[in-house]
């Protein structure tokens, strides 16, 4: 039986909490938030013990913590939990800066605890299918990712690159199986004080070309991945979890074939937390270690440093 806690009860924190309460081998010891009205809501809905102070919750016996506070608080919150030798999953991005992320990773290693980063899109069945179809990525030419939607008032401390773009910077490393060789972005600000529209262009070390289009100025949510290979073309809708595989164009009869890959819909967060707990149970490496999250922060600094 894992004894778990959740700090931060915004939208994602509540998703973590709900999934934990649905797991047979998990006991939710308590949750933390500064908003007492939110605490009343979750106490009534889930029957969990609530705290307004992380220090109070950490006085309990805990095996696991989910950190779902704003990005600017990841470093401070994560260090407190690590000091108590509690395994933790920190929602993406790992921290506000690469220096803070590096300290979290090194501290977790020093204390001998598991640190995972919540880049949840890796657990989307559509992403898993795309990864399977491209294999070792030897014939991949390019990867294009679109992640757009309306402005989310809940996000106040970072821009669209660190919020939405963090998913896709991680996915480019995951799908291509390679690190970034070069990366550049152009961005603009029309709402608030942070950038809300960005085009990120990159070349991976293995030669794969990549492009990310992300913004908070589109009135609807769009989440799509397109992969051009020498032998095929793959398109995935991450919202509907639909994947289509197109054969190469035939110059002989000017045609191509399309194969739709049916998937069983799964909730990515539930799969993420299940694999995290299984890794703890089996003593194996967590699916997305802190070092992966740190690489995303390093790319942030390469992108944003060039655009200052």
Q: What's 87's domain CATH number?
A: 3.40.50.720
Instruction: Decide: 287 and 279 in contact? Cβ < 8 Å.
Output: yes
114 inside domain: yes
Domain shared by 229 and 128, yes or no? yes
Domain shared by 199 and 250, yes or no? yes
3-state secondary structure of 285: coil
Q: For residues 65-89, give the mean pLDDT.
A: 97
197 inside domain: yes
198 inside domain: yes
294 inside domain: no
pLDDT band at 142 (very low <50, low <70, confident <90, very high): very high
Neighbours of 8 (CB within 10 A): 25
Domain shared by 149 and 170, yes or no? yes
Domain shared by 67 and 126, yes or no? no
293 inside domain: no
Domain shared by 143 and 105, yes or no? no
The total of structural domains in the chain comes to 2
- Write the CATH number for 250: 3.30.360.10
Domain shared by 130 and 250, yes or no? yes
Judged against a pLDDT cut of 60, whether residue 215 lies above it is answered with: yes
3-state secondary structure of 283: coil
Q: Which helix (H) or strand (E) holds 128?
A: helix 125-134
pLDDT band at 155 (very low <50, low <70, confident <90, very high): low
82 inside domain: yes
Write down the residue that tokens 């990549």 correspond to: 210
pTM (global) more than 0.75: yes
Judged against a pLDDT cut of 80, whether residue 255 lies above it is answered with: no
The encoded tokens of residue 156 equal 């106040």
H helix and E strand count, the chain = 10, 14
218 inside domain: yes
Q: For residues 43-55, give the mean pLDDT.
A: 96
Between CA 114 and CA 88 the distance in angstroms is 6
Domain shared by 261 and 136, yes or no? yes
Domain shared by 126 and 238, yes or no? yes
**In this predicted structure, what is the pLDDT of residue 307?**
53
What is the C-alpha R_g of the chain?
Answer: 20
Nearest C-alpha neighbor of 197 from the set 210, 185, 180, 209: 185
Range of the domain at 202: 121-266+299-306
**In this predicted structure, what is the pLDDT of residue 192?**
77
Judged against a pLDDT cut of 70, whether residue 21 lies above it is answered with: yes
Q: For residues 146-168, give the mean pLDDT.
A: 88
* Straight-line distance from the first to the last Cα atom of the chain, in angstroms, rounded to the nearest whole number: 48
Domain shared by 197 and 144, yes or no? yes
């Amino acid at each position: 039986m894992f004894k778990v806690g959740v700090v931060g009860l915004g939208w994602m924190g509540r998703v973590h909490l709900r999934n934990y309460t649905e797991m047979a081998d998990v006991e939710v010891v308590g949750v933390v938030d500064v908003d007492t009205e939110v605490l009343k809501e979750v106490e009534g809905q889930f029957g969990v013990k609530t705290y307004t102070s992380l220090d109070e919750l950490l006085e309990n016996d805990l095996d696991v913590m989910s950190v779902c506070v704003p990005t600017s608080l990841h470093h401070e919150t994560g260090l407190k939990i690590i000091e108590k030798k509690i395994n933790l999953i920190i929602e993406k991005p790992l921290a506000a800066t690469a220096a803070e992320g590096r300290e979290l990773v090194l501290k977790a290693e020093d204390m001998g605890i598991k640190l995972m980063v919540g880049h949840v899109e890796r657990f989307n069945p559509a992403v898993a299918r795309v990864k399977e179809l491209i294999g070792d990525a030897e014939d991949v030419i390019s990867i294009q990712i679109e992640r757009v939607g309306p402005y989310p008032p809940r996000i106040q401390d970072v821009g669209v690159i660190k919020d939405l773009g963090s998913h896709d910077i991680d996915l480019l490393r995951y799908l291509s199986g390679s690190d970034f060789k070069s990366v550049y972005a152009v961005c603009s600000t029309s709402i608030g004080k942070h950038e809300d529209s960005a085009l990120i262009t990159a070349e991976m070390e293995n030669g794969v070309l990549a492009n990310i289009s992300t913004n908070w100025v589109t009135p609807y949510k769009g989440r799509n991945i397109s992969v051009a290979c020498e032998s095929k073309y793959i398109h995935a809708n991450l919202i509907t979890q639909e994947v289509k595989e197109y054969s190469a164009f035939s110059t002989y009869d000017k045609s191509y074939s399309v194969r739709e890959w049916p998937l069983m819909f799964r909730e990515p967060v539930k799969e993420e937390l299940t694999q995290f707990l299984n890794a703890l149970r089996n003593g194996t490496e967590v699916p997305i270690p802190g070092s992966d999250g740190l690489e995303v922060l390093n790319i942030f600094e390469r992108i944003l440093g060039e655009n200052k």
